Structure 1
């Protein structure tokens, strides 16, 4: 056992040094920056297009006085709707027969509208392509009723803001739980997949066969697994530090403006690191055993696809536990080994209790040991069968 651990330490130190102190590791650290930039760019463009497309325009055939009252009512209602798009009102001076003007406005291409409001505030009539009880008709009705109402004689509602409330805390903690789960899932999936390419490269160059002649196969498995975990944690520390610095510089209020997890920011970051390690060891063991059975990148993609799809389903299952702490679904997600780290990250964001994490971590360590033993045996059986002498079982089946 001591010889196995010493050999695993040598392999792990070799792989960790070769990974972290390489030029490609710098580009690896920049990898999360690209989806963030693309997401912000296209998210802003998409939100702008969606807002413009979702803001319908209604022509109002009315006097200047009636239109001013309607437009004022719209401004008052807009503050209640916030960022949600409301109907845009454009005034049309009454001219000629109302029905003919209405048809001309609906057919106009220079200033397209979805509906026309005629009759003023006395006898309003809305005509256009819309549902009678839909959003457009409902907003126009609210504007007309607000414009008809006399100015209130009583003082307006006094609003006093408080620092926090149970409703706002619950919502912010649910958002934190979803963010934690998403970060954990994508980082684990990306980093576990990267380990396959390294293994395939060593198998194709026969390096792993040379190393296997000097140390036990299990030591190679453990060394590679924990070396990539250590390199991934280095990347995680760099990304968290860079993210905190960016928030401090760009966001009003700095990191203090972020939602506060139930266990506190420091403990939440610690749980992120712990559950990332657990999730990585579980998924990395599976991917490493898959990589040992493949001899080319194409075979890696074919074999790893079911594992990736299954992990996506596990992520969806774990996401259902957000906001339902203590439910049967959340308990089942915490017990199932592959979803347990993701569910417990959400638990740390939503509940302050610490003792469930001790049970969950012990449970996950047990399953990590089981998965590593099984994966190491598969790794031992297949890692040296990379030559063309004996074909793999899936090749024989397809022949």
Structure 2
């Protein structure tokens, strides 16, 4: 058997051993169902937010203290202007009341009403309206100012409030993907890639520590090159990650029919520039290389730990490192032609995330070919460096250390 074939066989043997040892345990079932905990916490948070929102619904209003004629003009202007304002801003409804003896004191009393949330109040004549508000960056007070201006214009021109035009709205499909859709697809790619690698790549930290504790690593190092051990463990853990993702993709496909139509329509607008088939292929390749790159780093760092306490201490730096790569890639999507994007695409450990985002925003193919080769080279470099560090620092079998000088 040739040397390369023997090396491949040894690597696959280590991978099969780690894959079987991880999957054929009851703990793997808990690991497989771990996202249910995140989903459960998310649902609980959503239910709590919905409850708070429903409790506050109908208890927020903006007030206008005006005479009956001015109140009618304000309500007519509100009926025309409000549909043009985005509904996601949460603009509260407008209520009008007749002025009392002291409108200023009446407005302040409304603003301080403990039974209802009043962000802003208008009082006084419409040509010189007085507006009070509590929030320094209030948008409702600006909306009341616009209503007063529109009502005053209607009064001077003698308009009755009836519409003067009948617009026709026609939706036309775009011939190309919009910039917003490309950015949304890029952000979606980076975020999902980060979440998946955060959940799965970190599992490689504790694999070598377990082998060190039961002295199995010494037997493996005597029979198999350490490079094969490292690569085999990475391939075995990657097989576990693929099994994990396949399970949840199958669940997601079956649950996809339960997505609300509005949400499904919003997701359909996410379109990568390179096309869905090419984007899916590149996404899989970049996930593979991101897992291999980060997994090899975590395997190298975790191989230096000998106790569970040391592994726990390494969890925080590992998470910070992943968050830094995530932020670097997001910055590259926000500024695609800047030096930040170039640096994120060239730095090997952020390159898979940044290039996945580039696949969504740019249709060029050749940068991905170069990036995949570049990342694959760094996978080999990281594995080689990790094996050398483990051989020298843990097994102490790297031979005599080089000295700065020799004694006479």
TM-score by length of 1: 0.83
Does the aligned pair in 1 maintain the 2:133–2:141 contact within 8 Å?
A: no
Q: Distance in 1 between matches of 2:47 and 2:272?
A: 27
Q: Distance in 1 between matches of 2:110 and 2:346?
A: 62
Does the aligned pair in 2 maintain the 1:87–1:139 contact within 8 Å?
A: no
Does the aligned pair in 1 maintain the 2:119–2:138 contact within 8 Å?
A: no
Q: Match of 1:396?
A: none
Q: 1:164 aligns with which of 174, 178, 197?
A: 174
Task: Show structure 2 runs of 5+ residues with no match.
Answer: 397-408
Q: 2:91 aligns with which of 70, 86, 94?
A: 86
Does the aligned pair in 1 maintain the 2:119–2:133 contact within 8 Å?
A: yes
Q: SS where residue 320 of structure 1 aligns?
A: helix
User: Where does 1:259-270 land on structure 2 (aligned, <5 Å)?
Assistant: 259-270=270-281
Q: SS where residue 302 of structure 2 aligns?
A: helix
Q: SS where residue 322 of structure 1 aligns?
A: helix
User: Where does 1:15-164 land on structure 2 (aligned, <5 Å)?
Assistant: 15-39=18-42, 41-42=44-45, 45-46=48-49, 57-79=61-83, 80-119=85-124, 121=126, 123-129=128-134, 131=136, 134-148=138-152, 149=154, 150=159, 151=161, 154-164=164-174
> How far apart are 1:373 and its partner, in Å?
0.8
**Structure 1 outlier segments of 4+, above 6 Å:** none
Q: Deviations over 1:10-49 (max 9, x none)?
A: 1111111222343333332323343344335425645885
Does the aligned pair in 2 maintain the 1:288–1:379 contact within 8 Å?
A: no
Q: Distance in 2 between matches of 1:295 and 1:138?
A: 63
User: Where does 1:216-365 land on structure 2 (aligned, <5 Å)?
Assistant: 216-252=225-261, 257=268, 259-365=270-376
Q: Distance in 2 between matches of 1:118 and 1:207?
A: 81
Does the aligned pair in 2 maintain the 1:106–1:115 contact within 8 Å?
A: yes
Q: Deviations over 1:61-95 (max 9, x none)?
A: 22445334423433433322221122443333333
Q: Match of 1:394?
A: none
CA change 1:294–1:103 in 2 (3 A) is closer
Q: Distance in 2 between matches of 1:62 and 1:46?
A: 35
Higher mean Cα deviation, 103-112 or 10-19? 103-112
Q: Distance in 2 between matches of 1:120 and 1:308?
A: 59
Does the aligned pair in 2 maintain the 1:290–1:304 contact within 8 Å?
A: no
Does the aligned pair in 2 maintain the 1:218–1:380 contact within 8 Å?
A: no
Q: Distance in 1 between matches of 2:243 and 2:288?
A: 12
Q: Distance in 2 between matches of 1:312 and 1:97?
A: 57
> How far apart are 1:144 and its partner, in Å?
1.8
CA change 1:308–1:267 in 2 (3 A) is same
TM-score by length of 2: 0.82
Higher mean Cα deviation, 304-313 or 145-154? 145-154
Task: Show structure 1 runs of 5+ residues with no match.
Answer: 386-399
Higher mean Cα deviation, 343-352 or 1-10? 1-10
Q: Distance in 1 between matches of 2:260 and 2:280?
A: 20
Q: Deviations over 1:287-337 (max 9, x none)?
A: 111111111122123235334323322221111111433433222221111
Q: SS where residue 161 of structure 1 aligns?
A: coil
Q: Distance in 2 between matches of 1:72 and 1:251?
A: 34
Q: Distance in 2 between matches of 1:248 and 1:270?
A: 24
CA change 1:113–1:323 in 2 (3 A) is closer
